[in-house]
A and B are shown apart, each in its own frame.
Chain A
Amino acid sequence: MPDITLSHPADVDGWRTAARRLLADGVPPVSVTWTVAGEQPSLFADDPAPLMEPPTGTVRVPRRFVELADMALRHSDPERFALLYGLLWRVNRDDRGVLHDPADPLVRRAESLERAVRRDIHHMTAFLRFRAVETADGDGGKDDDGPYVAWFDPAHHVVEAAVPFFVHRFAAMRWSILTPRRCAHWDGRAVRFSPGVTRDAAPDGDALDDLWRTYYAATFNPARVNPAVLQTNMPKRYWENLPEASLIPDLVKGAAERARGMVEAAPTAPSRFGRAVERTRR
């Protein structure tokens, strides 16, 4: 009974190498145990298998499978490695088309992992905030290239998958992204990963937070208050990290009153400026 040990929780490459080998050897899904180094080994694990040599022949799988596995394997579900190997087995053995059947239970489970991971990556690109540390003028001037530090707490193992977005966007800055799972550091040339840290390793605020809060409050239209939609789109678990979130309760509470005020206010006489322009345009 092969026991495969992957080097870290998002070790997609390690999984692929092992899965190819297992497939080439004809090892069925039921007889494989998957573990991540340093995590609780499964109860009946044998001695760890020797490091896997990649098989010589290549296994051909549909492109869609590669795409699906690359995301789904980053989920925090401990069953993910087994599940994807099970699917790979089926795709390879008897049913290439199964991936295109969203009503198939196994495909559906893999797809729901994939969806959750994509969502997590999306949330990370959306709600992560960089904070400037030790800059002379923290107001976005030309020399404001960092360093910046961000804190984020992803639900899945998505740091590696999300990092290219930040590199492409903020290539000229120097930054670190800290998370409890893994950290990423960009020095302007290359990314380095390091083990996860706790919240207190990251700075708490930024000189621009106040201006951002001003913007947030001003861009809100009290006549359309709808906190339910806000919460669906921006789940509360991210609020702790967002400077503007502290304003939400008061903005919501005061909204009805402000809207009523606008409706009930008596129309005023045209402004002096308005009258002056009016005269010139007539």
Chain B
Amino acid sequence: MDLRRKLEILADAAKYDASCASSGGQRRDSLAGGIGSTTGMGICHSFAPDGRCIALLKILLTNVCVFDCLYCVNRRSSNVPRARFTVDEVVRLTLGFYKRNMIEGLFLSSGIIRTPDHTMEELVRVVRCLRLDHGFRGYIHLKTIAEASPELVEEAGRYADRLSVNMELPTEQGLATLAPDKTLPAIRRSMGQLHRRIEETQAERRAPRFAPAGQSTQMIVGADGADDRTLLRTSDTLYRRFRLKRVYYSAFSPIPDTSHALPSKAPPLVREHRLYQADWLLRFYGFGVEEIGGAGGMLDLDIDPKMAWALAHRDHFPVDLNTAPRETLLRVPGLGVRMVDRLIDSRRHRRLRLEDLGRMRVPLRKITPFVVTADHRPTRLLDREHLRALLAPPPEQLSLF
């Protein structure tokens, strides 16, 4: 099989992993030798027609897999064509693309061949060759195979910027039905091990390097019955217990050769979007996980979760932009973290008026019902029953067909 065909199969097989970050961790350059750099800020070198960032060469070493996770295009029972890269092929592709400034680095994962240890060994061989034989200083994200031996994980962490173990589904029951070869305790054990090593390395300056950009994970949305509340609670625990850098949510997507055990319809992509918004509220806006989302355990698809919270807590509003503390401003719909800090800077110099907000490009239509400025106070608006209708985007026009 030629290299081009392999690349086609093994990139196709890897694309359902949503992670694309190439940021964080050490800063490196190649002034003293080698090739490549990391600036701390990832760069998207292209965008796919699905709107997703292309920063890394995201491929599998092989899509042969002895596991049978039903949502996965690579499960052993699937009839997709199989391929396998040699170590040298991955190295050559990575360096070739990198030197042309097409990528920030490599995202390498693999189907489980034979045993977790055997698979992990193969992955480590690739990154060892890149780092040691070629002096590659670009970004490397390596999938860690749950239940691989600690020595292999240790070596992986020495070469990789980021390691990740995928959670896939938030409940034991979901895993049992859809990913019968995986278990929650094993996944948690792997995450716990990574967490321990990352912490140790950070505590000790002279410790050998271990995954300086931390660990992340991914959960699949809409393949099992788990609701948004369950997903968010899981994320919240992962952030707090294992200090994960990111949880990715990947709306279950139709794949070639679908299993009949899966829902025939993909969840709306907007659900995934709302989960990301809620996830940000957890991490950067001081929201508790139980505050987000309605009684039904699902996020509102029509309006963003902060707006939904505000509409359900009208007694917290209006907020005076000239006096309210930062944590209160963070709860105002339409105000992002950066904007809040700019408002705080600005109000040291002036009493904020609507025209100031306009100049700072605050979304006025969204925010005016919730705030007080020197020249504005919402009166009836907050009480109006149809505030929600006013703020929710108009329903999509039906097209005549």
Contacts and interface: CB of A to CB of B under 8 A. Distances in A.
Contacts of A262: 254-256, 258
Contacts of B264: 263
B148 interface: no
B99 A171 contact: no
Given A103-B346, A140-B96, A278 B76 contact: yes
A173 B36 CA distance: 10
B321 to A, nearest CB: 11
Interface in A186-200: none
Interface string A127-149: 11111100000011110100010
A142 to B, nearest CB: 7
A271 B257 CA distance: 11
B29 A168 contact: yes
Nearest to B64: A273
B49 A220 contact: yes
B50 A225 contact: yes
Interface string A227-263: 1111001100000001010001001100100010011
A43 interface: no
Interface stretch (A69-77, A83-91, A205-213): A205-213
B359 A108 contact: yes
Given A103-B346, A126-B44, A263-B254, A171 B30 contact: yes
Contacts of B265: 263
Contact of B257 (A132, A217, A268): A268
A65 interface: no
Contact of B99 (A128, A148, A221, A281): A148
Interface in A97-111: 97-98, 100-105, 108
B92 A139 contact: yes
Interface of A: 97-98, 100-105, 108, 122, 125-132, 139-142, 144, 148, 150, 165-173, 206, 208, 210-212, 214-230, 233-234, 242, 244, 248, 251-252, 255, 259, 262-263, 265, 267-268, 270-271, 273-275, 277-278, 281
Closest 7 CB pairs of A and B: A140-B96, A229-B51, A274-B77, A270-B77, A168-B29, A226-B51, A218-B11
18 contacts: A100-B346, A100-B348, A103-B350, A126-B44, A130-B101, A168-B37, A170-B99, A171-B35, A211-B7, A211-B96, A223-B266, A225-B49, A226-B50, A229-B50, A233-B51, A255-B49, A268-B257, A274-B78
Interface of B: 3-4, 7-9, 11-12, 14-16, 29-31, 33-37, 39, 43-54, 57-58, 64, 66, 68, 75-79, 82, 92-102, 134, 253-260, 264-266, 269, 342, 345-346, 348-350, 352, 356, 359-360
